[in-house]
């Protein structure tokens, strides 16, 4: 990538006015040129300049080149089941409304009035037939169209083209297992193309719930003084930290010692990893096939897993079913999940600043779970990974102090070492003992993190999806 000069404020204004007047642009303009050359990112050598996490220009380029372009997680179908149901979230730093229109179709909009930019929806969730801006009361239907403009005849002489001033719409929305993803970029490939081979692992995590999925209650939301990539990398699978960072929960008897067998696998734009071949508390009643697990506390959900694993073995084969629960995963850039024998969570980590991020997290369950199992899952989720969860606190503390350690004048000049398991990478088929998509490393590996940065660099160095697509194809498995 070559460094280019940023347009002057005057040039930017001219561009903005020109395209805003064009209805086809839906009020948006193209991405500006990158602000500077990228810091050194050498995934193949396991090296990364720490400016990647702390530099303001890099961060601003990420908002343009990653978050305005990639598929981003929005919410789950079960949160907006009825016409008029809505919830608010973010895509990058942009506030967004996710709404099921009166026609039943799910859409998402920039939560900003086309008049002066006021957020038109201040609530976090609810049901409505319109969004009325609190400032001057422009009113939008749930399909985003502008319907009401005070003083339309007196002050606009009844001539303003309301059709040109609807809410800015997210270009594409697609879902998998009720998980709704959106992208601002109309040229983005389909979500299926984006996920590639990762769809197989997503199926093992979410496709095993034949009665559907739903999230429990509202979101847990909290901020962390860290760069958004620290949690994304950790959830791409970092078994390396478990014995040291989570020593206390282990001492309390909440966790079993780790097994040495495990995997990190990248496929498409997703990353998954865990240990494997551990017995569960429910295994005494089944065929004895061990599955991955590390929680020591008994939980009735393991019996549900036992049945799901048997069903998935018939569908996808025993070797793949043996992976259930699959552990940690991230889909590029900032959607993560954790699939354990006691609970499942999904989270999206919104960027707020180079050193600040905001987590939105939900406990997700099978819709047809017995109430007592559902409650046990919910409690274990809160105990471990809620905002004050035992493991979440360990992780958050480490991510914040990583950020502190690399934010100073000298700290940001130092390279990060991402070389764990370098040179030991192999195929997913080899790692799992059955034909499977992707490639990666064993349990002590940063293969997924290195792959995350191959993708990150491709996004940051590409001007459009036309140039990004072949770059991603070159580096993806
Ligand atoms: S800012 Fe929304 S109507 Fe004025
Ligand atoms: Fe952790």
CA of 139 to the centre of ligand 1 (A): 9
Residue 199 CA: distances (Å) to CA of 79, 178, 266, 380, 401: 23, 14, 11, 27, 34
Distance CA 228, CA 414 (A): 19
CB-side neighbour CA atoms (13 Å) of 359: 27
pLDDT value at residue 257: 78
Return d(Cα 75, Cα 86) in angstroms, integer.
10
Q: What is the set of domains in the chain, with CATH numbers?
A: 75-187 (2.102.10.10), 191-475 (3.90.380.10)
pLDDT of residue 183: 98
pLDDT digits (tens, 9 = 90+) for 125-146: 999 999 999 999 999 999 999 9
**How far, in Å, CA of 358 to CA of 159, rounded?**
42
Cα(160) to centroid(ligand 1), Å: 15
Stretch (H or E) spanning 175:
strand 172-176
33, 94, 284, 334 from 7: Cα distances, Å: 8, 22, 66, 29
Q: What is the chain's pLDDT, residue by residue, as a tens digit (477 residues)?
A: 333 333 333 333 333 333 333 444 566 666 666 656 777 899 999 999 999 999 999 999 999 999 999 999 999 999 999 999 999 999 999 999 999 999 999 999 999 999 999 999 999 999 999 999 999 999 999 999 999 999 999 999 999 999 999 999 999 999 999 999 999 999 999 999 999 999 999 999 999 998 999 999 889 999 999 999 999 999 999 999 999 999 988 888 888 778 778 999 999 999 999 987 666 666 665 555 566 556 777 788 988 998 999 999 999 998 899 889 999 999 999 999 999 988 999 999 999 999 999 999 999 999 999 999 999 999 999 989 998 888 899 999 999 999 999 999 999 989 999 999 999 999 999 999 999 999 999 999 999 999 999 999 999 999 999 999 999 999 999
Q: What is the DSSP letter of 67?
A: I
Pocket test for ligand 1, best of 112, 115, 168 (most atoms within 8 A of CB): 115
Query: For a pocket test of ligand 1, which of 112, 113, 122 has the largest count of ligand atoms closer than 8 A to its C-beta?
Result: 113
* Residue whose CA lies nearest to ligand 1 atom number 1: 116
Query: What is the rounded CA–CA span in Å between residue 305 and residue 230?
Result: 30
Q: Is 152 in the pocket of ligand 1 (CB under 6 A)?
A: no
- Is ligand 1 within 6 A of the CB of residue 118? yes
pLDDT score, position 293: 58
Q: Residue 419: how many CB atoms within 10 A of its CB?
A: 12
Which atom of ligand 1 is found nearest the CA of 136? 3
Q: How confident is the model at residue 16, as a pLDDT?
A: 33
pLDDT at 298: 78
Q: Angle, to 10 degrees, between the axis of helix 371-385 and the axis of helix 301-316?
A: 100
Ligand 1 pocket, residue 294 CB under 6 Å: no
Confidence (pLDDT) at 1: 31
Ion ligand 2 — residues with CB under 5 Å?
A: 395
Ligand nearest to the CA of 237: 2
* CA-based nearest residue to 353, from 218, 469, 228: 228
Q: What is the pLDDT of residue 275?
A: 86
pLDDT of residue 30: 64
338 lines ligand 1 (CB under 6 A): no
Per-residue pLDDT at 217 = 86
Cβ-Cβ contacts under 8 Å for 78 (sequence gap 6 or more): 178, 212, 213, 214, 215, 367
Mutational test site, ligand 1, from 134, 138, 147, max ligand atoms within 8 Å of CB: 138
**How far apart are alpha carbons 16 and 35 in whole angstroms?**
18
Task: Please indicate whether residue 116, judged by its CB atom, sits closer than 6 Å to ligand 1.
Answer: yes
Residue 10 confidence (pLDDT): 32
How far away, in angstroms, is 132 Cα from ligand 1 center?
Answer: 9
pLDDT for 279 equals: 62
On whether the CB atoms of residues 281 and 306 are closer than 8 A, the answer is: no
Please give the Cα distance from 449 to 447 (Å, whole number): 6
The residue whose CB lies within 8 Å of the most ligand 1 atoms, and thus the one to mutate among 95, 110, 116, is 116
Structure tokens at 132: 């009325």
pLDDT at 283: 63
Cβ–Cβ contacts within 10 Å for residue 118, how many? Answer: 15
**Rounded to 5°, angle at Cα 449 from 355 and 260:** 120
């Amino acid at each position: 990538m070559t460094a280019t000069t940023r347009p002057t404020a005057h040039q930017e204004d001219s561009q903005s006015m020109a395209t805003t007047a064009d209805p086809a642009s839906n009020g948006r303009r193209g991405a500006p040129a990158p602000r500077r050359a990228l810091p050194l990112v050498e995934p193949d050598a396991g090296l990364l300049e720490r400016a990647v996490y702390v530099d303001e220009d890099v961060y601003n380029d990420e908002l343009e080149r990653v978050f305005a372009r990639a598929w981003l997680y929005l919410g789950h179908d079960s949160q907006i089941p009825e016409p008029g149901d809505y919830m608010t979230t973010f895509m990058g730093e942009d506030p967004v409304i996710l709404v099921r229109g009166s026609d039943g179709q799910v859409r998402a909009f920039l939560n900003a009035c086309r008049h002066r930019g006021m957020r038109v929806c201040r609530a976090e969730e609810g049901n409505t037939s319109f969004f009325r801006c609190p400032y001057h009361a422009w009113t939008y239907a749930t399909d985003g169209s502008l319907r009401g403009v005070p003083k339309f005849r007196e002050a606009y002489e009844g001539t303003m083209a309301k059709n040109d001033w609807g809410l800015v719409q997210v270009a594409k929305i697609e879902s998998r297992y009720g998980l709704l993803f959106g992208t601002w970029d109309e040229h983005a490939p389909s979500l299926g193309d984006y996920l590639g081979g990762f769809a197989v692992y997503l199926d093992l995590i979410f496709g095993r719930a034949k009665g559907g999925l739903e999230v429990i209650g509202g979101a847990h939301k909290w901020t962390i003084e860290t760069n958004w990539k620290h949690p994304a990398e950790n959830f791409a699978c970092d078994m390396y930290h478990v014995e040291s960072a989570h020593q206390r929960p282990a001492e309390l008897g909440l966790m079993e010692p780790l097994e040495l067998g495990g995997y990190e696998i990248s496929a498409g734009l997703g990353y998954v990893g865990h240990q494997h071949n551990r017995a569960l508390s429910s295994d005494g009643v089944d065929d004895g096939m061990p599955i991955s697990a590390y929680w020591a506390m008994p939980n009735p959900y393991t019996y549900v897993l036992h049945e799901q694993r048997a069903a998935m073995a018939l569908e996808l084969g025993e070797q793949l079913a043996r992976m259930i629960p699959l552990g940690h995963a991230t889909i590029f850039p900032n959607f993560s999940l954790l699939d354990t024998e006691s609970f499942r969570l999904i989270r999206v980590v919104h960027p707020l600043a180079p050193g600040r991020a905001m987590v939105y997290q939900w406990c997700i369950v099978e819709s047809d779970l017995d109430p007592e199992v559902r409650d046990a899952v919910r409690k274990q989720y809160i105990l471990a990974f809620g905002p004050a969860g035992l493991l979440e606190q360990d992780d958050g503390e480490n991510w914040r102090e990583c950020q502190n350690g690399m934010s100073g004048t000298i700290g940001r000049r130092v390279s990060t070492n991402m070389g764990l398991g370098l040179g030991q990478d192999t195929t997913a088929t080899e790692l799992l003992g059955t034909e499977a998509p992707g490639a990666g490393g064993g349990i002590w590996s940063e293969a997924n993190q290195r792959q995350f940065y191959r993708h990150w660099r491709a996004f940051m160095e590409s001007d459009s999806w036309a140039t990004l697509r072949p770059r991603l194809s070159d580096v993806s498995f």
